[in-house]
Amino acid sequence: MLKQGETKDRQRDRWTERRRDREITFSSHRSFHAASKWLCRSVALSLCRSVPPIFLSLSFLAGCGGASDSNGEATLTLGAYTPPREAYSKAIIPEFQKHWKAKTGQEVEFQESYQGSGAQSRAITSGFEADIAALSLESDVTRIAEAGLIRHDWQANQYRGIVSTSLVVIAVRPGNPLGIRDWADLTRPGLKVLTPDPKTSGGAQWNIAAIYGAALRGYAGVPKGDPRAARGFLERVLLNVSIMDKGARESITNFEKGVGDVAVTYENEVLVGRQAGQKYDYVIPRSTILIENPVALVGAYVDKHGVRRVAEGFIDFLWTRDAQRVFARYGLRPVEAATAQEVAAQFQPAGDVWKIDFLGGWKRVSQDVFGANGVYTKSFEELHTAP
C-alpha cells in the first residue's frame, strides 16, 4: 500500500529492502509487538462479528430481567404445567393485566412457560427464574421449597395454596364403542391405554395414584385394603399402556390423532379438547382422585427481580371470582365456594371422590409409589424388563 507522499519507486524500494532482509534470514523476526498486534486484531475482529448478536441477546436479557415495580412496568415469569395453558394465556393473564392496570396503573408483561409439572419443577430448581409456579401437584412445589427458593408457607391460606381442582377420568372414542365403564375395564387384554410418563408429567402421577387408590378402596374388582392386590391391578393396567408421553397435553393430543383406545387423563384436558372441536367422550370412574393444583410464589426469584407486589397481586387474583370463573370455563373445577356452586351444572357428578391424603399425602406417595423402590417403579421395571 502506498504510504502518504510515496511514489511507486519508493514503494518498490521499500519492498525490496524488506524482501532482502527476509531472504537472508528465513527465521522470523519475532517481534512481540507484532505478535500482540496480530492477536489483538483477530480478537477484535471476532468480537466485532459476534458483538451485535451478543448485544441483542443482552438486551433481551435486560428485558427479561424483570424491571422492578417502581417504574410503570413489570415483567412476571410464570412457570406452569401444560393443561391450563389456554386458561392462563388466553384469559387469566389478560384479565389480570387489565385488573392490575386499573388498580395500580402499572403495566405487567408476562413470560410464560408450560411443560410437564415435574419437568417445570426441575427447571425452576435448576435455574429457570420463574416468579410464580403453577404446577400440577403439591410435591412439585415442595421440591422447589426444599431447594430454598420458596421461603414462606405457601399453603397458609384457606385454600391451602390450591387454585383449581379436577378429576382423573378415562377418555374414550365417540360413543364409547368399547363400553368402558370403570377402572377394571382397563385391564382388558389387548386394550391400548394412553397415560403420560410419571417421571416428567404431574398428570401421570395423578393417574397412577388414582388407579392404585381406587383399587385399594375396592372399586377395581380386587379386595379392598390389600396392597398386594392393588399392586397387581396396577400392573395389569400398565401392561396395556402403549405410549407414555412427556406431558398430559401430549398424551391427549396423541389420543386425538387416533392412537390408542382409551386415555387416562385430567377431566379438564378432555373438556378443553372438546371445546377445541375434538370429538371424544369421557367416563368418570366410580372412584377417582380429586386432582388439586397448587400455585406458589417463588420468593427467591421474585425478590431478585423486584416484582413482589405484582406477583402477590397475581396470586391473590387467582382466587377471585373472575379468575375462578375462567378456570371453570376451561374445564377446571373452581375451589372458591360461590363459583363452584355457580358452575356446578357444567360438571358431571362423580361418585367416590377422595384426596391424596387417603394414600398418605404426596410426601408418602412420592416415596412409596414413585420412589426408587416404589410400587409403580418396581411394577414398571418388572413389566418391561422381565425376560
Partner 1 sequence: MSQARAEIEPQIELRPGARKRTERPRGLEWALVAVAILYPVALMAGPLLAIVWGALSSGFGAMARQLTSPEAVNALKLTLLLSFAATALNTVFGLVVALVLTRDNFRGRRALNGLIDLPFAFSPVIAGFTLILLFGRNGWFVNLIDALNLRVVFALPGMLVATTFISLPFVARAVAPVLRHVGQEQENVAYTMGAGYWRTFWSVTLPNIRWGLLYGVSLTFARAVGEFGAVLVVGGGVTRFTETATLYIYRSLDDRNEVGAYAMVLALAVISLCLLWVMEYARKHAQDE
Partner 2 sequence: MNATRAREYSPASVMPLPWGRWSLRAVALIWLGVMIALPVAVLLEHGLREGVVRFWAEITNPIALAAVKLTISAAAVMTLINAVMGTLTAYVLVRYRFFGSRLFNSLIDLPFAIPTLVTGVMLVLLYGPQRTLGAWLEARGIQVIFARPGIVLALLFITYPFVIRTVQPVLMAIEREQEEAAWTLGASRWRTFTRVILPMITPAIVSGSLLSFARALGEFGSIVVVAGNIPRSTLTAPVYVFGQIESQNQMGASAISILLLALSFALMLLVDWTQRKRGGEHVAG
Q: Applying CB under 8 A, which residues contact partner 2?
A: 26-32, 34-36, 38-39, 42-43, 116, 118-119, 122-123, 197, 199-200, 241-246, 254, 257-259, 380-381, 384-385
User: What are the DSSP E strand ranges found in the chain?
Assistant: 73-80, 107-114, 132-134, 162-172, 193-194, 241-243, 262-266, 281-283, 287-297, 333-334, 352-354
Nearby residues of 204 by Cβ (< 8 Å), 6 or more positions away: 195, 196, 197, 198, 244, 248, 251
**CA distances (Å), 192 to each of 178, 256, 261, 287, in order?**
11, 14, 5, 21
The correct pick among 106, 242, 253, 377 for binding partner 1 (CB under 8 A) is 253
Cα–Cα dist 355/292, whole Å: 8
Nearer to partner 2, 243 or 340 (CB): 243
Using CA atoms, how far apart are residues 252 and 204, in angstroms rounded to an integer?
A: 12
Chain residues 258-297 in contact with partner 1, contact rule CB under 8 A: 273, 276, 278
Contacts of 290 (CB under 8 A, 6+ apart): 165, 166, 167, 353, 354, 355
73 binds partner 1 (CB under 8 A): no
Nearer to partner 2, 264 or 290 (CB): 264
- Is 115:123 a contact under the CB 8 Å cutoff? yes
Given partner 1, partner 2, none, residue 338, with its beta carbon under 5 to 8 Å by kind, binds: none
Query: Residue 27 interacts with partner 1 (CB under 8 A)?
Result: no
* Ramachandran class of 59: left when φ > 0, alpha when ψ lies in -120 to 50, beta otherwise: alpha
Q: How many residues bind partner 1 (CB under 8 A)?
A: 44
Q: Using the minimum distance from each CB to partner 1, give the nearer residue, 13 or 153.
A: 13
DSSP label of 187: G
Q: Which of 4, 8, 9, 23 binds partner 1 (CB under 8 A)?
A: 23
Does 337 engage in binding with partner 1 (CB under 8 A)?
no
Task: Establish if 90 lies at the interface with partner 1 (CB under 8 A).
Answer: no
CB of 342 to partner 2, least distance (A): 38
Q: Which does 243 bind (CB under 5 to 8 A by kind): partner 1, partner 2, none?
A: partner 2
Phi, psi of 136 (to 5 degrees): -85, -35
CA distance 44 to 50: 10
| Cα 338 from Cα 340, distance rounded (Å) | 5
Q: How many residues does the chain have?
A: 387
Pick one of partner 1, partner 2, none as the site partner of residue 60 (Cβ within 5 to 8 A by kind).
Answer: partner 1
Nearer Cβ to partner 1 (127/190)? 127
Residue 104 binding target from partner 2, partner 1, none, CB below 5 to 8 Å by type: none
Contact window for partner 1 (CB under 8 A) among 121-129, 131-139, 198-206, 310-318: 121-129
Place of cell 362423580: 350
CB nearer partner 1, residue 150 or residue 211: 150
In order of 210, 334, 372, the CA distances from 369 in angstroms are 12, 28, 9
> Which letter does DSSP use for residue 27 in this model?
S
| List 10, 19, 101, 355, residue binding partner 1 (CB under 8 A) | 19
Task: Please state the closest distance from residue 313 (CB atom) to partner 2, in A.
Answer: 31
CA distance linking residue 250 with residue 255, whole number of Å: 9
| Touching partner 1, residues 144-173 (CB under 8 A) | 147
39 binds, among partner 1, partner 2, none (CB under 5 to 8 A by kind): partner 2
Residues at the interface with partner 1 (CB under 8 A)? 15, 18-19, 22-23, 38, 41-42, 45-46, 49-50, 53-54, 56-57, 60-61, 64-65, 77, 82, 85, 89, 111-115, 123, 125-129, 147, 247, 249-250, 253, 256, 273, 276, 278
